[in-house]
Amino acid sequence: MTDKKSPTDELISTLKQHRDELAVKVHLGSTEVKDEWKRATDKLDEISRGYDPVKQAVSESVEDVTASLKLVAEEIMNSFDRIRKSL
């Protein structure tokens, strides 16, 4: 087995990095920013928890799963961008 991360591993890792970078700023932000932060991080936690079992079980529909994860990741990134603009 190789140490190279899959594109989905990289995507989730990037999202977590963005989350970590914004965490302190959000703590000092408005209630509206904190609410959006909670929604975005809850979604990230959900796809992170769900991804490992899916990664193990999926072989035939990798493209469909990856496309779905990319859509959710895009939604999370958009939330992070709105949060950055609000700070």
4 is a domain residue: no
Q: Is residue 68 part of a domain?
A: yes
- Asked if residue 34 is part of any domain, the answer here is yes
Count of structural domains, the chain: 1
Please tell me the predicted confidence (pLDDT) of residue 67: 84
Residue 81 resides in a domain? yes
Provide the residue range defining the domain that includes 35: 30-86
Arithmetic mean of pLDDT over the chain:
86
With respect to residue 24, please indicate whether it lies within any of the assigned structural domains. no
> Does residue 21 lie in a domain region?
no
Q: What does the pLDDT read at residue 18?
A: 93
pLDDT tens for 41-73 read 999 999 888 887 777 776 657 778 788 889 999
Alpha-carbon distances of 16 from 6, 9, 40, 52, 64, rounded to whole Å: 15, 11, 11, 15, 22
Is 69 domain-assigned?
A: yes
Instruction: Tell me whether residue 62 is in a domain.
Output: yes
Going by pLDDT thresholds of 50, 70 and 90, the confidence category of residue 1 is very low
